[in-house]
Chain A
């Protein structure tokens, strides 16, 4: 785990997009997957809201069969990383975050609410999460440091 951080980090959409071969974070994302498959990332989860963000975000610009294929590919590549699905309390918390931070995006707020449920650590390069009370942000590469 991360030194000095007793936590359960939540991966958001950035990690899922990082699974693309051409993405600048692909090497790091692949290393995280390898660690997870070795059982060394057993406390890391993927935010269910990140999966929803991809499913919704691609609608209207991608054909539905392509969206299904994209989600199946992600599902197939991440068997060792559980999905932490949204529940009603997380949705309420996400909306409260959105109220406190008016310029925020709904899905960022839902990812934040998921992380707050899961000890408040989110893995992302987005500085937005630093403005959410009780959150700690880690870069993807920081997950690999021992």
Chain B
């Protein structure tokens, strides 16, 4: 684990110290996801080649196939959630 104290600059910029850059393998141009949770700021580096990573994850899934699956899944999940709420509302 690497812990550093960073100072917010006049334009709210923050410079990542060398130890942090080294720990995460960050170079200029690298994309980071900044996520707040309560009073915590979490910074995560996206993969060096996000296009390649997306390709690996998604594979060759086809748009039509995705549309059909999305429609079926949306209907399934919405029906399930609505059915549960209707049951609760009517005391069934």
Contact = CB atoms under 8 A, between A and B. Distances in A.
A72 B49 contact: no
Dominant secondary structure of chain A at its interface with chain B: helix
Nearest to B78: A56
A93 interface: no
A13 B71 contact: no
B58 A56 contact: no
Count class of interface residues, chain B: 20 to 34
A106 interface: yes
B66 A17 contact: yes
Contacts of A145: none
B58 A20 contact: yes
A108 B54 contact: no
Dominant secondary structure of chain B at its interface with chain A: helix
Contacts of A14: 63
A30 to B, nearest CB: 7
A69 B61 contact: no
Interface stretch (A59-67, A115-123, A132-140): A59-67
B20 interface: no
A42 interface: no
A19 B55 CA distance: 8
B54 A20 contact: yes
B89 interface: no
Given A53-B67, A57-B70, A77-B46, 14 more contacts: A56-B70, A56-B74, A57-B65, A59-B77, A60-B73, A69-B57, A73-B54, A75-B33, A76-B31, A77-B50, A105-B71, A107-B70, A107-B71, A126-B63
Interface of B: 31, 33, 46-47, 49-55, 57-58, 60-61, 63, 65-71, 73-75, 77
Interchain residue pairs A-B with the least CB separation, the first 7: A57-B70, A57-B66, A56-B70, A20-B55, A21-B55, A21-B51, A53-B70
